[in-house]
Amino acid sequence: MKIVSFDDIRSVGISPERCYEWVSEMIANKKDAFLPAKTHMNMPGNIFCNVMPCLVYYSDGNMGGVKVVTRYPERKSSLDSKILLFNADSGEFLALMDGNWITAMRTGAVAAHSVIHLAKNNWNVIGMIGLGNVARASLLVLASMVKDRQLTVKLLRYKNQAELFADRFREFPNLEFKIVDSMEECIRGSEVIISCATYFENDVAMDDWFDEGTLLVPVHTRGFTNCDLFFDKVFADDTGHVDHFKNFSKFRYYAEVSDVVNGKAAGRENDRERILAYNIGISVHDINYAAHIYQFFEQTPGAFERLTDAEMHDPTDKFWV
């Protein structure tokens, strides 16, 4: 079994466009995967552990995996994830992979996918709340996919993160940044709102701040439950991950994004609809990314040799206790 580190994954040089391609293929083919609901374990102090298993079926062989995500607020960084990848046909464990790059980039790519498929026509003003790695990944993939469009990006100020965020994208000529000091200013007038804040204790926005035609993507689902009740449509990446939401039965219209892209459900139907996209984060994307990355190392001469080969010393006797 190989150990694949954060630096190993970054060395592959996966482009934002490729990240978008991988989530697009998985969203379109979601019905061909086996996806149990994640196990979410809360602990005191806003600490949590998520365990996320799945099987992904390919024409040339099937892959399985388990992703484990933990959040410890006092840890640097607070979020950490690992992925165990195995061959679902043979049962062979293939790799233990760092999940942090994969998590950030697939989450950002899924957010970009929602914007491209669900935002109003000719949108060009986007508000961004929470400016960490997932927000950077979201804008990196989105800006790479809509290079022909000039975008105004409003950044909600937090410490010096907005300035650092804008500097990260200084080489993108199609992006113009505006730093704002209040949540209201960030939301009002924005046609697309992406919130990547990991924690809000309560809702953070008033109903009348959201213009007609707004697309809201609360990546970590926090802070916008009031929108459940008056937005025209709500979409999610998986019903089993949202059907326990307190307002689920009150959604005016609900469908999975995979059904929208496959023509089985209506998406945006006009530029007046307010739309909410709950991309909870499902492990089929992580395992799909991990499978592609593993395949890269497998097929690139000399790449596998750079990885650590960890011997797990599995028991060989039927009875070993």
Give the tens place of pLDDT for each residue, 38-90: 898 999 998 999 999 999 999 899 999 999 999 998 888 888 999 999 999 99
The gap from C-alpha 312 to its chain's centroid, in whole angstroms, comes to: 31
Asked if the model's pLDDT at residue 315 lies above 80, the reply is no
pLDDT confidence of residue 103? 93
Omega before 182 within 30 of 0, i.e. cis = no
Query: How far is CA 58 from each of CA 25, 96, 122, 261, rounded to the nearest angstrom?
Result: 11, 20, 36, 19
Residue 140: pLDDT band (50, 70, 90) is: very high
Omega before 190 within 30 of 0, i.e. cis = no
pLDDT confidence of residue 320? 62
The token pair that represents 186 in the structure block: 């960030």
Number of residues that this document lists for the chain: 321
pLDDT confidence of residue 256? 97
**pLDDT one-digit tens code per residue, 152-161:** 999 999 999 9
CA distance 20 to 26: 10
Q: Is residue 105 within 8 Å of 12, Cβ to Cβ?
A: no
Asked if the model's pLDDT at residue 114 lies above 90, the reply is yes
Q: Is 258 helix (H, G, I), strand (E, B) or coil?
A: helix
CA distance 255 to 30: 14
What's the mean pLDDT when you consider all of the chain? 94
> Which one is predicted more confidently, 276 or 11?
276
pLDDT confidence of residue 67? 97
Q: Is residue 139 within 8 Å of 19, Cβ to Cβ?
A: no
End-to-end CA distance of the chain: 24
pLDDT confidence of residue 317? 80
**pLDDT one-digit tens code per residue, 5-42:** 999 999 999 999 999 999 999 999 999 999 998 898 99
pLDDT confidence of residue 81? 93
pLDDT confidence of residue 198? 81
Backbone angles phi, psi at 288, to 5 degrees: -65, -45
Average pLDDT in the 242-256 region? Answer: 96
Q: Is 190 helix (H, G, I), strand (E, B) or coil?
A: coil
Average pLDDT in the 253-267 region? Answer: 98
Going along the chain from its start, the domains and CATH numbers come out as 2-102+284-309 (3.30.1780.10), 107-278 (3.40.50.720)
- What radius of gyration, in Å, describes the C-alpha atoms of the chain? 20
Asked if the model's pLDDT at residue 99 lies above 90, the reply is yes
Q: Is 280 helix (H, G, I), strand (E, B) or coil?
A: coil
| Percent over 70 (pLDDT), the chain | 98
Task: Output the DSSP codes for 106-170.
Answer: HHHHHHHHHHHHHSPTT--EEEEE--SHHHHHHHHHHHHH-TTS-EEEEEE--TTHHHHHHHHTT
pLDDT confidence of residue 172? 95
Average pLDDT in the 80-102 region? Answer: 95
